[in-house]
């Protein structure tokens, strides 16, 4: 699978023109506010508002947020149980038409986690693994609508969609223009997994009125415990820098163990764990 860099470049910030004394006073005031707000937080709660009714809130200074999406669920019940037992918000992205797709989606919803449809899409690499049913370049709007409807029947409670593979599909303007109305009519948001730097999916979603966001960090390109912890720290740094970030991982044992160890420390660094729906705009 062709993927974009693990971390997307962020724009360089301009130096402030505020006088030094005023700047120091402002920083001190912000620290006091953060300490006050932190005292009232519920640590590691899975209960988070869905759909993000106030999309600008995630960008508020001093309120950085991080969403963790776990992809590729649908076959492995033990891995799903381990993830769903973690005591903090996770967004669970379920592949359609698999033996446990519906059961895992139902259980995630029951336990209070957020569910996405992990929508299979055509990859650019000739040797890439394909799904029997996936979005492919050349499909028209009616075909896309039918395919999405069938997938959603197997992934109940889906609040949104992110792409599985899709390095060719998400770079195709016509296919993305056919997909977004099917999502908009169902009030589903779209998370661009950014499996290619050539993606037009996020821009198309925004233009056609679909709430959307983009992945910032892949957690487990190297599926080892220490590597995942390092990538989680990178995602936290991005959230602190930009106000929000989305990280995507997979149900590898190393990913699950690293999240169990590292995620509870995230709020200690001043970053709130939220569902993906809280970061779409």
Contact 216, 65 (CB under 8 A): no
pLDDT of residue 15: 28
| Cα–Cα distance for residue pair 61/40, rounded to 1 Å | 18
Pick from 164, 161, 173: which is nearest to 137 by CA? 173
pLDDT < 70 regions, the chain: 1-62
Q: pTM of the predicted model, to two decimals?
A: 0.80
pLDDT for the residue 62: 67
- Mean pLDDT, rounded, of the chain: 83
Residue 33: the pLDDT is 33
For residue 17, the model assigns a pLDDT of: 33
Q: What is the pLDDT of residue 132?
A: 84
* 3-state class (DSSP) for residue 157: coil
Question: What is residue 127's predicted lDDT score, i.e. its pLDDT?
Answer: 73
Q: Which pLDDT value is given to residue 125?
A: 84
Q: If we measure between CA atoms, which residue out of 231, 77, 71 comes closest to residue 166?
A: 71
- CA nearest 205: which of 186, 181, 232? 181
- For residue 62, give both structure tokens: 């001093």
Which domains, from first to last, does the chain contain?
A: 45-279 (3.20.20.370)
């Amino acid at each position: 699978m062709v993927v974009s860099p693990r971390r997307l470049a962020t724009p360089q910030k301009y130096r402030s023109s505020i006088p030094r004394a005023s700047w120091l006073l402002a920083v001190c005031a912000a620290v006091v506010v953060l300490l006050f707000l932190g005292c009232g937080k519920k640590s590691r709660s899975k209960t988070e508002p869905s759909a993000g009714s106030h999309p600008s809130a995630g960008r508020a200074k001093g309120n950085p947020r991080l969403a963790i999406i776990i992809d590729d669920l649908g076959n492995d019940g033990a891995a799903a149980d381990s993830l769903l037992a973690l005591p903090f918000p996770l967004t669970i992205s379920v592949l359609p038409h698999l033996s446990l797709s519906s059961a895992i989606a139902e259980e995630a919803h029951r336990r209070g986690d957020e569910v996405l449809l992990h929508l299979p899409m055509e990859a650019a690499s000739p040797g890439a693994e394909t799904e029997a049913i996936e979005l492919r370049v050349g499909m028209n709007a009616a075909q896309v609508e039918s395919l999405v409807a069938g997938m959603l029947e197997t992934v109940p409670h889906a609040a949104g969609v992110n792409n599985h593979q899709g390095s060719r599909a998400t770079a195709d303007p016509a296919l993305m223009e056919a997909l977004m109305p099917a999502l908009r009519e169902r009030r589903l948001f779209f998370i661009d997994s950014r499996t290619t730097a050539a993606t037009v999916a996020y821009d198309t979603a925004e233009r056609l009125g679909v709430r959307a966001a983009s992945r910032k960090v892949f957690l487990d390109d190297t599926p080892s415990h220490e590597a995942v912890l390092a990538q989680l720290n990178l995602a936290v740094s991005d959230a602190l820098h930009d106000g929000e970030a989305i990280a995507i991982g997979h149900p590898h044992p190393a990913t699950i163990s690293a999240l169990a160890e590292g995620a509870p420390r995230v709020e200690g660094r001043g970053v709130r764990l939220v569902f993906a729906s809280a970061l779409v705009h």
